[in-house]
């Protein structure tokens, strides 16, 4: 910039106009509440927890992490959580695809989606309670089995109970998301494929699946993060001291049984890192699939 | 070997109908199409022309009637079993596949050998003049180029019938004229039959060998462009073909022509058979109604639009009817003009407006 341009001259547009050219105007202030919200409720607590995790009650700054990874009672929780979260995510997302394929053609789609949203509104505790009663030793399910001469099946207070609850509460989410991705695909693409001789299976493999892939990846990320942080159902329906001792239970015990907030923060950070690693992995895989628009033309 | 539409003698639509709930979108459409013919289905929106096309493609099932390709009944076949090429209004190109992959899709589905697919795709790309663009994704092409890819994809499978659903409606005016010529060229080159749906009468007139005018799910008239332009069979077809002046008249035969009375004006016109004396509609194109010093109709000028070689003006008669006509100068509002038309170009349809 030359010196002449810096001097205040009549040609120079007023500040308001110059800001406007950079898309900054009064409306820009409307993002402030959102920024404030993110800073106060996400960035600050996260940073606080991160710092806290490096200030252990005793030992060096990495003492909490060293303790976690040297005690199988603690580090086994990672495996226990993955053992639940990965199958639950895969089941939820993969099952949602065929169901959504069928449902998008249904006339009473709204009624069905409403029905599926109910488990979301109920919350995990109510679902857990219901499952405990229904599937428990004295529940309807086992009584019915007894009537037909099949013995007791143990479906609660173990891995199966938690898995069932994760599917019940997680499936509506993944289903609705898959359905919206699927209905976003221009139906004329499938019609075009069929006039070109593609049967239903070929249309799915060559047209729908590639266009759906990016949506399924996002869906998996969300579903995984949700199931990885499972807590109430792992306690209520699982074996919280045994096979479903998930990582959030370890964090809870550190915080509210041993009152070691620093250790609890470290566990939470490890949990966050695991989630982040899987999400990054899925997003990296996304680069192999088509990520553009899913409509057929300029329209 | 060049790309050529699969051979057949005749496609027969026999009393084809389709209902949506209680709505009859298609009421008994009967039509014969020969190989090499270019047929335009013309009509206003909601007339059933797209429904007819989708029924032909197999994307909609018939509620009644049948479709025959020579001796084979095809209306119960799925779209993938019919082997017709279809060009969609929004092109429906697969956004995740390159232009080449898009065009090769139909051949790959037929399980053709790779070398043959490559050769045919090259040929199709050459026909639509896109040989340089084969590696691109559809999103990287302009609207006109996407349209060409859609056509190439439809013709490369060498279908007996190519179906086109308003393929030019998303293009700008200049490109539309260009693509119109391209579509006819490609049709003549591959020699299959083309059925082309449009609501643009000019497009239908310039492209088609025969035009099928549809209204409210029914075929109103089938004819060559010349027949439809010169002598529409019904008043509503005439209105759609650009006979914008539709006057309610009383008509009586006089010798070779008919005398029609509109209010206190008497004109001579030509009867469109079957003709019955009495209440009638006289249809005149704006370009056939001109300003003339001793014309029979008196009108006061309303507005004028410049069209290069002349003005298209509108005026109101003393009875309050709106007329559209040609004038060689811009009319002033309220100016009184006299109008006249060649009796041969005043078509008189008996009965009231349908």
Q: Using one digit for the tens of pLDDT, what is the confidence trace for B277-294? A: 888 899 999 999 999 888
Chain A environment of B83 (Cβ under 8 Å) = 197
Contact B146 A297 (CB under 8 A): yes
Q: Residue A8 has what pLDDT?
A: 55
Q: Which residues of B touch A198 (CB under 8 A)?
A: 80, 105, 109
The complex's ipTM works out to 0.85
Q: By C-alpha distance, which of B172, B79, B179, B99 is closest to B139?
A: B99
Instruction: Kindly tell me if the per-residue pLDDT of B259 is higher than 70.
Output: yes
Distances (CA, A) of B292 to B283, B288, B339: 19, 12, 5
Residue range A179-195, pLDDT digits in tens: 999 999 999 999 999 99
B192-225 confidence digits (pLDDT tens): 999 999 999 999 999 999 999 999 999 999 999 9
Phi and psi angles of residue B281, each rounded to the nearest 5 degrees, phi first: -120, 125
pTM of the model: 0.83
Mean predicted confidence (pLDDT) in B236-244: 90
Residues 68-107 of B with CB under 8 A from A: 78-80, 82-86, 88, 90-96, 105-106
Cβ contact (<8 Å) for A197 and B106?
Answer: yes
Q: Are B148 and B132 in contact (CB under 8 A)?
A: no
CB A192 to CB B109 under 8 A?
no
- Considering chain A, what is the average pLDDT of its residues? 88
Per-residue pLDDT at A1 exceeds 50 = no
CA neighbor of B287 nearest in space, from B310, B316, B271, B305? B310
Q: Name B195's Cβ contacts closer than 8 Å, sequence gap at least 6.
A: B33, B39, B41, B53, B56, B161, B162, B163, B164
Structure token digits, residue A27: 């409306």
**A186 interaction partners in chain B (CB closer than 8 Å):** 90, 92
> What average pLDDT does the segment B144-152 reach?
93
Considering only CB atoms, B79 lies closest to which of A186, A194, A297, namely: A194
* Angstrom distances, CA of residue B121 to CA of B47, B110, B200: 36, 14, 31
Residues of A within an 8 Å Cβ radius of B: 186, 188-189, 191-199, 202, 206-207, 210-211, 290, 292-299
B90, A202: Cβ pair inside 8 Å?
no
pLDDT of B114-135, one tens digit each? 999 999 999 999 999 999 999 9
Question: B63 pairs with which residues across the strands?
Answer: none
Q: Which of A72, A104, A89, A87 is nearest to A250 (CA)?
A: A72
Judged against a pLDDT cut of 70, whether residue A121 lies above it is answered with: yes
b (16+ CB within 10 A) / e for B196-218: bbbbbbebbbebbbbbbbbbbbb
Q: What is the DSSP string of A97-155?
A: HHHHHHHTT-TTHHHHHHHHHHHHHH-HHHHHHHHHHHHSTTSHHHHHHHHTT------
- pLDDT 10s digits, B1-20: 577 878 888 999 999 999 99
- Span B153-160, average pLDDT: 94
Q: How far is B95 from chain A (nearest CA, A)?
A: 6
Residue B152 scores a pLDDT above 50: yes
pLDDT at B177 over 60: yes
Tokens of B103: 């065009």
What's the Cα-to-Cα distance from B82 to each of A84, A93, A196, rounded to whole Å?
48, 35, 9
Is the Cβ pair B90, A189 closer than 8 Å?
Answer: no
Percent of chain B with pLDDT over 70: 99
Indicate the SS3 state at residue A257.
coil
Q: Which two tokens stand for residue B168?
A: 């030019």
Measure the CA–CA gap between B57 and B79, rounded to whole angstroms: 6
Cβ A275 vs Cβ B120: under 8 Å? no
- What is the reported pLDDT for B354? 46
H-helix segments, A186-236: 187-195, 200-203, 209-228, 232-236
For the record, the structure tokens of B62 come out as 């018939």
- Tell me if chain A has a CB within 8 Å of the CB of B137: yes
Task: Indicate whether A119 pLDDT > 80.
Answer: no
């Amino acid at each position: 910039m030359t010196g002449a341009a810096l001097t205040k001259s009549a040609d120079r547009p007023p500040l308001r106009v110059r800001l406007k050219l950079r898309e900054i105007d009064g409306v820009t202030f409307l993002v402030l509440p959102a920024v404030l919200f993110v800073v106060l409720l996400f960035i600050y607590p996260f940073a606080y927890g991160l710092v806290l995790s490096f200030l252990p009650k005793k030992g060096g700054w990495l003492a909490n992490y060293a303790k976690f990874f040297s005690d199988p009672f603690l580090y086994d929780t990672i495996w226990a959580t993955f053992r639940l979260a990965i199958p639950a995510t895969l089941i939820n997302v993969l099952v949602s695809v065929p169901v959504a394929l069928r449902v998008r053609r249904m006339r009473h789609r709204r009624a069905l989606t409403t029905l599926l949203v109910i488990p979301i509104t109920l919350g995990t505790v109510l679902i857990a309670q219901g499952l405990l009663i229904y599937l428990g030793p004295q529940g309807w399910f086992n009584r019915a089995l007894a009537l037909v001469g099949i013995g007791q099946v143990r479906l609660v207070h173990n891995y199966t109970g938690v898995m069932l609850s994760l599917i019940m509460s997680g499936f509506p989410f993944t289903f609705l998301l898959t359905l919206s991705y699927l209905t976003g695909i221009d139906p004329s693409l499938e019609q075009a494929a069929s006039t070109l001789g593609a049967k239903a299976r070929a249309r799915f493999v060559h047209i729908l699946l590639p266009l759906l892939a990016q949506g399924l990846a996002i869906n998996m990320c969300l579903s995984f993060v949700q199931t990885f942080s499972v807590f109430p159902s792992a306690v209520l329906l699982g074996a919280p001291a045994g096979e479903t001792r998930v990582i959030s239970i370890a964090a809870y015990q550190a915080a509210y049984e041993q009152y070691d907030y620093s250790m609890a923060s470290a566990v939470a950070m490890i949990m966050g890192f695991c989630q982040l690693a899987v999400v990054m992995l899925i997003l990296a895989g996304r680069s192999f699939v088509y990520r553009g628009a899913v409509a057929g033309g300029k329209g | 070997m060049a790309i050529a539409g699969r051979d057949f003698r005749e496609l027969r639509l026999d009393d084809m109908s389709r209902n949506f709930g209680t709505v009859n979108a298609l009421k008994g459409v009967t039509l014969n199409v020969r190989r090499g013919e270019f047929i335009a289905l013309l009509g206003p929106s909601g007339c059933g022309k797209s429904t007819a096309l989708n029924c032909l493609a197999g994307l909609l099932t018939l509620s009644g009637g049948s479709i025959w390709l020579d001796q084979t009944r095809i209306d119960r076949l799925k779209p993938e079993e019919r082997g017709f090429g279809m060009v969609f209004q929004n092109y429906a190109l697969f956004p995740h596949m390159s232009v080449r992959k898009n065009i090769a899709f139909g051949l790959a589905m037929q399980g053709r050998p790779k070398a043959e697919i490559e050769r045919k795709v090259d040929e199709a790309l050459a026909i639509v003049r896109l040989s340089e663009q084969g590696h691109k994704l559809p999103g990287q092409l302009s609207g006109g180029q996407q349209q060409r890819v859609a056509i190439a994809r439809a013709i490369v499978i060498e279908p007996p019938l190519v179906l086109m659903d308003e393929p030019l409606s998303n293009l700008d005016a200049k490109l539309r004229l260009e693509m119109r010529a391209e579509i006819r060229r490609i049709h003549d080159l591959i020699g299959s039959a083309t059925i082309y749906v449009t609501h643009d009468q000019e497009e239908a007139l310039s492209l088609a060998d025969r035009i099928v005018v549809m209204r409210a799910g029914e075929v109103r008239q089938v004819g060559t462009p010349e027949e439809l332009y010169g002598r529409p069979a019904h008043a509503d077809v005439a209105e759609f073909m650009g006979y914008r002046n539709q006057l309610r008249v009383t008509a009586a035969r006089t010798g070779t022509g008919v005398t029609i009375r509109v209010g206190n004006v008497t004109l001579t016109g030509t009867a469109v058979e079957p003709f019955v004396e009495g209440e009638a509609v006289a249809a005149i194109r704006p370009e056939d109604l001109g300003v003339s010093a001793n014309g029979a109709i008196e009108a006061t000028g309303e507005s004028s639009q410049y069209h290069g070689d002349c003005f298209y003006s509108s005026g109101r008669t003393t009875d309050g009817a709106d007329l559209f006509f040609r004038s060689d100068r811009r009319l002033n509002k309220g100016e009184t003009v006299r109008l006249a038309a060649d009796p041969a170009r005043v078509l008189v349809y008996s009965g009231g407006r349908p």
